Amino acid sequence: MLVTLNFAAVLFMAGVGWLVQLVAYPLYAFVGRDDFVAFHTEWSRRITTIVLIPMTIDLVTSIWLALTPPSGVSQALAVGGAVLAGLTWLSTALLQVPRHEKLSGGFDEGTHASLVATSWVRTIGWSAHAVICVLMISAMQT
């Protein structure tokens, strides 16, 4: 059950990560400058509502699995998942949030480019974590 909950949260966040990476963030550049602050404020409010609970479930269940891996799952694999969960949280807090704070004052090309570039850390992290979840589920089946 715990692995399934973890996998659901991680897979959801991987999907959100790819959507944000390839669609949402690049489209920031097309928002009119006069409307950008209002757009960004609303984007930030809405995306937080969508991702806060799954990200929290991801982190909590990943740590729990690392501390008590299910039968058949190597602790190294479970710890790898927890490390990736921590990485996505750290990336969000240390890389993306500061860039969003800067963009909340208005669009800036350099900050926008940096946001898109640094967000790859999360996108790849969630995707790799999804692979780890598949490996854990597979290990439990054997």
pLDDT at 131 over 80: yes
pLDDT tens-digit series, residues 3-47: 999 999 999 999 999 999 999 999 999 999 999 999 999 999 999
Q: Which amino acid is at 141?
A: Q
pLDDT of residue 53: 98
Predicted confidence band of residue 142 (pLDDT cuts 50, 70, 90): confident
Predicted confidence band of residue 104 (pLDDT cuts 50, 70, 90): very high
Tokens, residue 23 = 């669609």
Residue with tokens 């692979």: 131
pLDDT tens-digit series, residues 70-96: 999 999 999 999 999 999 999 999 999
For the four alpha carbons of 141, 69, 125 and 51, in that order, the dihedral sign comes to positive
